[in-house]
Structure 1
Amino acid sequence: MTGPEVLDIARQGIWTLIIVSAPPMVVGLGVGVVIALFQALTQIQEMTLVFVPKILAIFLTLLITLPFMGQVLSAYTARIADLIINGSG
């Protein structure tokens, strides 16, 4: 296996990681901003107010996007398995 092939596999792995982790991260960021705006408008400075809505939103996002995440990870794993079986060299 040559250097460019290894770099291509690493690039695909990083891209897969970004695609799989993006939905929960974006939802967590959005909920955090909305809660922070709510706290600023109402002057409620309770530190624990952010955790429960953010955890629930991320959990729901994971439930909804789990089939997509599994499909992306399965495709990447299949590509890696094919490279191992066929021996790219």
Structure 2
Amino acid sequence: MTDTLLYDMMRAALWIAVQISAPLLAVALVAGVVIGLLQALTSVQEATLTFVPKVALMIAVFWVAMGFMTARLVDFFTMGIIPVVAGGN
């Protein structure tokens, strides 16, 4: 395995990690901002008020995006990792 191939595989793995984590992070960000605004407007500073809805939304988005995440990982391994391990490159 050459250095160039290793760096390309690492770059591709990091990009896939960004793509897979983006939906969850975006939902957490939006939920945090919306709940923070509601707390600021109502002056209710309850810790569980931010935690429970954010976790519930993240679980829902994870459930919906699971197929996309799995497909991205399977494609990466079948097209990138397995040929290198098998000696194709």
Q: Give the TM bin, normalised by the shorter chain.
A: over 0.9
Q: CA deviation at 1:61?
A: 0.1
| Pairing 1:14-33 to 2, within 5 Å after superposition | 14-33=14-33
- The equivalent residue for 2:81 is 80
1:2 matched to which residue of 2? 2
Q: Percent identity?
A: 36
Root mean square deviation, CA, Å: 0.9
CA distance in 1, matches of 2:10, 2:25: 22
In 2: Cα distance, 1:25 partner to 1:8 partner: 25
Shift >4 Å, 4+ stretches = none
Aligned position for 1:69: 69
Q: Deviations over 1:22-60 (max 9, x none)?
A: 101110110000000000001111121101100110000
2:34, 2:26 → 1: CA distance? 12
